[in-house]
């Protein structure tokens, strides 16, 4: 069987590269590509542009990658002092791809920002700055510094897809985030935590072979080359849906 096609959402930023300085670019950390390849999938990079969600119709799975904060206007809040300036184009493109994947039953893995965006897409809300909620000391374990993916121990909920894949825990993951899930979106349930921080969300139906494969993790599995369990589970789900047919997710609104 050919490798499943796994789409990965990309950043739209200004960057220096080769002979170019401060240029508009579409980019993605290589670690996402390597993770999908190592798990048995073929990565397909999705540019954050209007109409790019049409590519989802050709995919077997979707990774919604990390990156800057989701615009709080998307969940009805003003932007806080610590929240990134909005990436309006990327938010719109990622949400369109995510909704299209859910509507078609394409397996979805949301990573960090992608986990938060999954929640927002289904009507949930976010804590814009965890130190304001948990205190600076507790929140610091999740955001140790620029470019640092710190170890965090998470515990999964029994009977969830996260528990099936990762075990009961504590499971050590790599984190870099200052925001987190507040109220879970419609149809989602919390499936892992690190203390008071929501570390995974998934479809609320009991996890099973016929349950839509929808999982968001606050951590960065692409930064741990020794643990491919999440990526392999996504690729396996992509193979199953390709073979057995897609089951759409009913999304309100």
Give pLDDT tens digits for 182-213: 999 999 999 999 999 999 999 998 888 888 99
Is 175 noted as a catalytic residue in this protein?
no
Q: Structure pTM?
A: 0.94
Spatial distance between the Cα atoms of 128 and 115, rounded to a whole number of angstroms: 14
Percent of the chain with pLDDT over 70: 95
pLDDT digits (tens, 9 = 90+) for 219-246: 999 999 889 999 999 999 999 987 666 5
Question: How many angstroms from the chain centroid is the CA of residue 111?
Answer: 3
Q: Would you say 221 and 63 are in contact if contact means Cβ atoms under 8 Å apart? A: no
Instruction: For the chain, give the mean pLDDT.
Output: 93
What confidence score (pLDDT) does residue 35 get? 98
Residue 252 pLDDT exceeds 60: no
Pick the catalytic residue from 10, 112, 127, 175: 112
Pick the catalytic residue from 129, 142, 177, 222: 222
Dump strand ranges (E) for 10-105. 11-17, 20-27, 42-46, 61-64
Query: Among residues 163, 158, 152, which one has the least CA distance to residue 130?
Result: 152
Mean pLDDT score, 140-164: 91
Mean pLDDT score, 42-63: 97
Spatial distance between the Cα atoms of 150 and 206, rounded to a whole number of angstroms: 31
253 pLDDT tier (thresholds 50, 70, 90)? very low
What 3-state class would DSSP assign to 149?
Answer: coil
Residue 52 pLDDT exceeds 60: yes
What confidence score (pLDDT) does residue 85 get? 96
């Amino acid at each position: 069987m050919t490798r499943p096609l796994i789409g990965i959402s990309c950043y739209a930023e200004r960057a220096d590269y080769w002979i170019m300085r401060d240029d508009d670019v579409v980019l993605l950390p290589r670690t996402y590509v390597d993770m999908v390849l190592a798990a048995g999938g073929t990565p397909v990079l999705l540019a954050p542009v209007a109409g790019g969600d049409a590519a989802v119709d050709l995919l077997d799975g979707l990774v919604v990658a990390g990156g800057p904060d989701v615009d709080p206007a998307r969940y009805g809040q003003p932007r806080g002092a610590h929240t990134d300036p909005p990436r309006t184009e990327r938010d719109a493109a990622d949400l369109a791809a995510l909704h299209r994947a859910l509507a078609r039953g394409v397996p979805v893995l949301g990573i960090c920002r992608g986990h938060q965006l999954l929640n927002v897409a289904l009507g949930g809300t976010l804590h814009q700055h965890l130190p304001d909620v948990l205190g600076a000391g507790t929140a610091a374990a999740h955001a140790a510094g620029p470019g640092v993916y710190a170890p965090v121990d998470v515990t999964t909920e029994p009977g969830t897809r996260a528990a099936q894949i990762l075990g009961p825990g504590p499971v050590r993951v790599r984190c870099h985030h200052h925001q987190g899930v507040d109220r879970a979106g419609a149809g989602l349930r919390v499936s892992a935590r690190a203390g008071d921080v929501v570390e995974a969300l998934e479809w609320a139906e009991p996890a099973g072979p016929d349950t839509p494969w929808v999982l968001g993790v606050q951590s960065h599995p692409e930064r741990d080359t020794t643990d491919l369990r999440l990526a392999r589970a996504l690729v396996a789900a992509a193979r199953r849906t390709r073979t057995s047919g897609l089951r759409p997710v009913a999304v309100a609104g």
